[in-house]
Structure formats: structure tokens, C-alpha cells
Chains A and B, each alone.
Chain A
Amino acid sequence: MQTTLTNGIAEGQLTNAAKLANVSKDQFRMSNGIRVIDYQPTSRHAAPSNRYYLWLILPAVIVLACITLYPFFWLIWMSFHKVDMMRGDIWNNFANWRRLLGDRSFGNGWYLLLKYSAMCMIMEVGLGVLLAVILNRSKYEKALVTLFLMPMMMAPVVAGLVWYYLYNSTFGWYHWLMQSAGILGEKSILGDTGTAMWGIVIVDVWQWTPLIILITLAGMKRVPRDQLEASMVDGAGDWRNFFQITLPNLYPFLLIAILLRFMDNFRFIDALLVLTGGGPANSTKILPTYLFDVSFQFFKLGRGAAIALTLLLVTIILGMILVKVFESPAGKVNQEGN
């Protein structure tokens, strides 16, 4: 039910005042410059208070604190100790942190991680947007999107295993195909220090480009038709429409996609362990793989904690930078436009 109220004056007061002035309510309102505000009551109950919501989320906050804050502070503690779960932790004078400074594998891990992330991001965003544009115009869009999404549904370890066999130089179909086409020699992609990184990037692109397609398609559905129509009336062609109308409107969506993929890449390890284990000759040993080795192969949990903290810190900083970009005027174009 909709009622009409005036600002600062109750409905009953307006009626009484109009009666006293011997005019209708509307005449009284207009002559006195009283604005009408539409008000939609939602419930016969009072609106829940903030305290209500606080109580509601409190159990979740407690659980989250237990499973995130406690390990987080423990991680910091571990990074300053030589960790022995049975015999107690021993303070080791920042040895875990000092060791990182001269650790070549640590530096190499960072370099390879950034290289890997950049390669994946550029290829996935480029290919994802291109395919989304094509799919958006296709009459088989729904069927094709379902088909494209299939790799994404696969567990990364399974995807790693599938590609491991495809790349195999003895019986791998993909290796055979590329060799027959004269692209590859007798070395497999994963067996050469020059191509192994490409091998894992291809798997990532194959598995996660569909996510970019999905997000981009969602963004394309929200491009204002009036802007496109106005542009067409002004005589703009498809290319100009895409670069001047569609792409700026996709900007915030792409930033979300990049943020998600960037965080995923920084903790990527499962498929990589299956594919190369960081080899050959450390050419694919990105930082998370090195972290795994230090923590669970060498059982240097203190040093592993120090590496993990640097990874966490850099992820947070880069994430914040991306969020800032998202909040910039350019990033807000479409948020406010819609």
C-alpha cells in the first residue's frame, strides 16, 4: 500500500491545516510549497536495528576469526622461530628472514611468479574478451558458453594430469600434433627450459579463460543500449562502438576478473606440481612451489612461514592497488552510469 507524506508534516496535520484554511489538501500543499515524498512501507514490523545484524553475523565472525586470525598470528610467530612441532619452537634471531635475502630460489620464485601471472593475465583477458564478443553475437551463445565452461569445472589437478599426458613426448597427442606440424622438435614442451613455462601457461589459459568470458559476457549485457544507439545514429562503426562504448563499460568487470585471476595465480600450485614440479632446472619453480618444497619437502616450517608472509603481503598490496584502480574515476564510469 502506498501513502503520501509531506516533508516535516504528518498526513493528519496537512488535512487539519487544509480544513482550517478552507482549501483542498493539494491547494494547501502547493500554496505553501510543501513537497510530496513517496513512502513505501515494507512491513508491519519495525525495521531491524544494526544491533540485530551484529548478533546475526557474530557466529560467523567468531568462526572466521578462529580459522583465519589464529593461523595468521601463528604464521607470524613461526616465521621468527625454528619450528619443531614436538619439541617446541626455538627463537632463531630472524634467521628465517635473513636466509631469504640471499636465497636465489626465493628471488627466482618471485621473478617466475610475476612472469607467469603476467603471461596468463594478458592471454586470458585478450582471448576472453575476444571470445565473449564473438559469443555475444552468436545465436548459439548459450550452448557455446556451456561448452567453453567445461574446463573450468575440472579440478586443477585433473586438468594438470590431462595435459601432462597430452604433452608427453612418447604418447602425448598434443605433442604428436605439434611435432607433426613442425612446431616442436623431439623434446616435449615440459622437458625444455625454454618452453616449460609456456606449457603451464597454456593449461592455465585453457582452464580459466572461460571465467573471463563469463564475466565479460555479463558485462556486455549491461552496456547501455541508448549509448550504443546514439553512437550508431552518429555514424560510428562496429570497431568504434566497441572501443568507445563497449570497452569502457566493461572496464569494472574486467578489473574484477583480473583481481580474481591475479589472486588465483599467486596461489597456483596444484596443476603445476603434476605438470613439472617446478622443473626442468627450476624453470617453472614459481614462488608457491618453492614455498611448498621448503615447508613440506624440507620441513623448514619457519622458513616456509617467512616466505608465505611475503607472498601474502605482496598479494594484499597488489590487490589494494587493483582496488584503487577500480575506485578511480575511470573504474567508476559504468558503476555510476548504470
Chain B
Amino acid sequence: MFYIPKDAIYKKVSRRDFLKMGGGAATALGAGSIALGLSSVINRRPVYAQSSDAAKWKQYEGSKLVFMSENTPPSFAIRDNLKTFYDLTGIEVEILTDDLPVVQQKVGIDLRGGNSDFHLNYIQDKPIGSPFADYYEDLNKYTGDNTLPQDPEGYGEDVWFENFQKACGVFYEAGRIVAFPYDCAVACSFYRQDLFEKLSKDFESEHGYRMEFTADTTWKHVYEYAAFFKKVREGGNSDIPYGYAQHQGSFAWTTQLDIQRMLFSHGRWTEFDVDDTLGSKDPGKTKWGDAQSVAVMTKFKEQADVSHPDNLANGTLELNTVYQAGQIAMQVQYHEFAASCEDEKTSRAAGGKTGYAPCPKGESSWIVGGGQAVNGTNCGIGGIGINGNATEDQKRAAYIFAIWATSKNIQYDVLRGLGGTPTRKSVLEIPEVKTARNRPTNMPNALTFDAVYDHGIRDPHFVLGPKIPEVNEYHKILATEVQRCVAGELSPEEACEAIREQTDEANGYF
């Protein structure tokens, strides 16, 4: 049937051998693909595991796990520390890191597709936890298991900082724990003490009060500081930076957090009538569009008008770069960035020039319907959770890694190393950490601990934001309409109404 070349290969090699060669190649390729695709290996020695505490840690010796995490300092620091874990357990862990939206996308496909390519996941409270909570394993199953090693401090809510366990570990259903707090970024105020001191007299003569940052500094004060800096700059003093900048970049989640701080500080306003720390799959209609939200949106727009002109391009990372470059005098930033701000090689704000304070407080006269003025403090609490699609042994091995990564000593190592942010209270009791909270310090992030752990994250200041299944769509809607308002395309009323309409539609209320 076919034309056969004169020098066909199978005339030199027998037809049978030729087929064997093809079969061998196909088998090799298939085996290679499987090896690459399913690279986890699990070996368990259950009898040996009962013999001693050391043996419990070693029961999965020779196994391999994959951890998908965000590219934040704790992930890098843990990766640098993996040899310690390997020596302790014999388990090899591969840590893959990426930007949060990419992590969200990858773990989402893995979880929803019924796969377990990533046995361990970084569960950032809202972007990952809220939409995928049902796909994670309940860790209660393992916390009381005496065939597994356990942390001597335990995992109750009291061992973590206030609200942390609820923020990243509990979704929609009380009592079910899907993650242990692993990494946190809590907002606080960073400001240039040197510039504030330099301009304070002029400011005071104009406004009648000192330009300073305390827990009582309100959003109205921040607006006036920013306007003052802008005026001095536009008066021809090019050495003076802009006063303030917002988080309006393409990372929708931080834009949402940026306006949320201001909203919550004025009467503890939240988007829905639900308990944010638990969340709801049926949150009801949103409160966006009410008088308070319009009032705050108006102030937010006014704030933008006196801020750094590139607001719409500055996401969280870019904003921090702007601050380090000396282009702004204030930012509300996540406390994990203190380490980079205090780095004299890269930051003009280093060398004792930066002061840290709680997030600004609400201005009483801006509260429309009554309510408390608080220092609205929000955060990203990242937990470490276990993929519910994994096999039982993979989950048990993953649990061993989870408790190791969130243990006191490892968190202390991470804080000392790349500048981590602890989630266990006991880390702050370590004498070296207590000392490091004041300058000079070898743990720059510890400079923020007064503002963050002692004040900001405590009720009534703590705001988490909505844990709803459609949270990522909500963040995009909010970011877009807030940006349109800041750009002058929509009035504050129109922006709030657009958010209300689209949010209700996304949540199924047409």
C-alpha cells in the first residue's frame, strides 16, 4: 500500500526490532512525563512513627512535597531554611513562589480541577481563602493526632495574634480550621520624621497644630499634611516631596484595602451586614451607595488630588519604591516593607528618618450616621493550608511541614533573616525581639510592632473585609470604579452607585 524507500531503516533493522525501538522510546517519554508531572513521592513507616517523638517527625522520610506560595519574604526565608526541615524529617519540600494573582490562579485550577500538584498552599485570607475554602482539608483532623508531631504551644486562637487564626483559617463555618497563620502584612503609617520636623513650624503657623503622627492623627490631618507638602513643592521648593500617595495600581486587592481603611475608620463601615471574620456565602445586598460610603469616597478623591500624581500606576510595591526614592513623605504601607525602607543601600528613607505609627484615625465630623472613629487597620494574613484533594499520607506529611513552618523558632529565624512578620505571640517574648523593637535594630520590621501588634490589629481597629465567594470579582469592581472616580471620570456618587450595582449582580442579586 505504501511506497517503501530503497534504504528504509527497517530493512537494516528487523521490523520487530524497529517496533521495539519505537515502543521503548514511547515508554521512556511517557515515564519521563509522569515523573515530571507527578513528582511527589510518599513513603510512610507507621509502626516506626509510634516509637518516639523524633520518629514521628521522621515517619515520612524520603517523601517529597510541593508548596505553592506567594513571593514574600517568609516564603524565601523558609526556602533558605529547608535544610533544617529536611534534617529533621527527611522530607524534601519544593517551594514555588509567584505573584499573588498568579498563585491564586494556579492553586485555583489545581483545587477546582480535583488535582493535588501543590500539596501545600499559601492561603491569603480573601483572594485565595474565600473562593477556595471548601477545597482545603480541615486541620482539626490532625491537631489531636498522637501519631503526628505537634507544636508544644498548640494551635488555639490564643497562640496567634488577635484575629489572625480567624482571618486566614476560618471560612463560612466556625470550628473548621483550613490554615495556620504563616505570614502577615498589617497596614501602618510610615512617615518621614526628618521632613515633618523641618516643616512643622510653617505648618503650625498656618493650621494651628503641630504636624506629627500619633494614634490620634486623623484622615483629615493626613489630607492637610499632604496638601501642605504639595503647596510647598509647587511653590518652587523641588527638594520637598509630595505628602502622600495611594495604592491605586493594577493589583485590585490593595486598591480595595486602601479605601477600606478610610471607610472603616469612619463608623466602622463595612460592605455587608455580616461578620467579616467568618464571612458568608450569601452576604445579601451591599451597603455601597449609602451616605457614609459617598462621603468617604468624596474624601478619598480629595486625598488623591493632593497626592503623588502617579497614583493610578502605583500599586503596593511601586508605592514603596516611591517612598524609598524620597518622592513622598508618608504612606500607609504593610509592615513587612519596613525592612526594605530601613535598608540604607536602597532607601533614602533609611537611617532613622522613618517613623511608624498606627493607621490614621477616622475624623468624627466625617461620620454621617454616627458611630465610632477608629484607626481602621487592615491586613493580609497568609495561612498555610493543605490541599483536600491530596492522598491521606500526602496530607499527613504536609501537616508536618505546616506545623514546622509556623513554629516559634522558625518564625524567629525568618524575622532575623529576611525580615519576616511573625504570627505567633510567643515570638515577641523572645528577649532579642523585645530589644529589636527600638533603634538601633537588626530586625527592622520589629520597629513597626508597637503600631501593628500593640494597637492596629486589636479590636475595634481591625478590619478584614468581606469573605465572600465572589471576592475577587468584587475587588476588581471596586478597584475599577474607585480608579474612575480618582481619574475624574465619575463623581463619588456615581462611583458608589456603580460599585453597588455590579457587586449585587456579582453576588446574584439582580
Contact = CB atoms under 8 A, between A and B. Distances in A.
Contact of A191 (B104, B135, B310, B484): B310
Given A170-B322, A279-B249, A297 B104 contact: yes
A278 B250 contact: yes
Contacts of B325: 170-171
Contacts of A45: 3
A52 interface: yes
A280 B313 contact: yes
Given A52-B2, A85-B114, A168-B318, A281 B473 contact: no
A192 B486 CA distance: 11
Interface stretch (B105-113, B421-429, B438-446): B105-113
Contact of B321 (A85, A171, A190, A193): A171
B472 A298 contact: yes
A296 B108 contact: yes
B380 interface: no
B204 to A, nearest CB: 28
B473 A296 contact: no
Nearest to B475: A297
Contacts of B483: 193, 279-282
Interface in A279-320: 279-282, 293, 296-300
A170 B250 contact: no
B270 interface: no
A54 to B, nearest CB: 11
B487 A281 contact: yes
Interface centre among A86, A168, A280, A300 (most CB of B within 10 A): A280
B351 interface: no
A31 to B, nearest CB: 43
Contacts of A191: 309-314
B309 A187 contact: yes
B101 A185 contact: no
A55 B104 CA distance: 45
B470 interface: yes
B379 to A, nearest CB: 21
Interface in A171-193: 171, 185-188, 190-193
B381 interface: no
B489 interface: yes
A276 interface: yes
Given A297-B105, A297-B472, A298-B472, A188 B487 contact: no
B293 interface: no
Interface in A1-59: 45, 48, 52, 55
Nearest to A290: B476
A117 interface: no
Given A187-B310, A282-B484, A193 B104 contact: no
Contacts of A186: 309-310
Contact of A277 (B104, B131, B250): B250
Nearest to A104: B502
A191 to B, nearest CB: 3
B310 A169 contact: yes
B495 to A, nearest CB: 10
A297 B131 CA distance: 10
A193 B1 CA distance: 65
B188 interface: no
How extensive is the interface on chain B, given as a class? 35 or more
A168 B313 CA distance: 9
A84 B111 CA distance: 11
A293 B325 CA distance: 33
B111 to A, nearest CB: 8
B333 interface: no
A170 B325 CA distance: 7
Nearest to A284: B250
B387 interface: no
Contact of B476 (A85, A190, A192, A297): A297
Interface in B469-500: 470, 472-473, 476, 479-480, 483-484, 486-487, 489
A293 B113 contact: no
Nearest to B255: A279
Contacts of A193: 312, 483-484, 487, 489
Contacts of B249: 279
A235 to B, nearest CB: 57
Interface string A190-233: 11110000000000000000000000000000000000000000
Contacts of A86: 112-114, 135
B321 A170 contact: yes
B255 to A, nearest CB: 9
A85 B483 CA distance: 34
Interface in A131-186: 168-171, 185-186
Contacts of A171: 321, 325
Interface in B108-131: 108-109, 112-114, 131
Interface centre among A48, A186, A192, A279 (most CB of B within 10 A): A279
B108 A299 contact: yes
A170 B312 contact: no
B309 A280 contact: no
Interface in B124-157: 131, 135
Nearest to A108: B480
B407 interface: no
A128 B483 CA distance: 36
A279 B2 contact: no
Contacts of A276: 250
Contacts of A48: 3
Nearest to B242: A186
Interface in B1-56: 1-3
B327 interface: yes
Interface string B251-291: 10000000000000000000000000000000000000000
Contacts of B472: 297-298
Contact of A279 (B112, B312, B318, B470): B312
Nearest to A56: B2
B3 A52 contact: yes
Nearest to A45: B3
Nearest to A279: B250
Nearest to B6: A45
Nearest to B486: A281
Given A52-B3, A193-B489, A276-B250, A296 B109 contact: yes
Interface in A71-92: 84-86
B89 interface: no
B313 A188 contact: yes
A276 B314 CA distance: 11
Contacts of B312: 187, 191-193, 279-281
B109 A170 contact: no
Interface in B301-322: 309-314, 318, 321-322
B248 interface: yes
Contacts of B105: 296-297
A299 B127 CA distance: 12
Nearest to A300: B473
B313 A299 contact: no
A192 B248 CA distance: 11
Interface in B396-426: none
Contact of A299 (B112, B248, B484): B112
13 contacts: A48-B3, A85-B113, A86-B114, A186-B309, A278-B250, A279-B479, A279-B483, A280-B487, A281-B480, A281-B487, A296-B108, A297-B105, A300-B473
- Closest 3 interchain pairs by CB? A191-B313, A277-B250, A280-B312
Interface of B: 1-3, 101, 104-105, 108-109, 112-114, 131, 135, 248-251, 309-314, 318, 321-322, 325, 327, 470, 472-473, 476, 479-480, 483-484, 486-487, 489
Given A86-B112, A299-B131, 5 more contacts: A170-B325, A188-B310, A191-B312, A281-B484, A282-B483
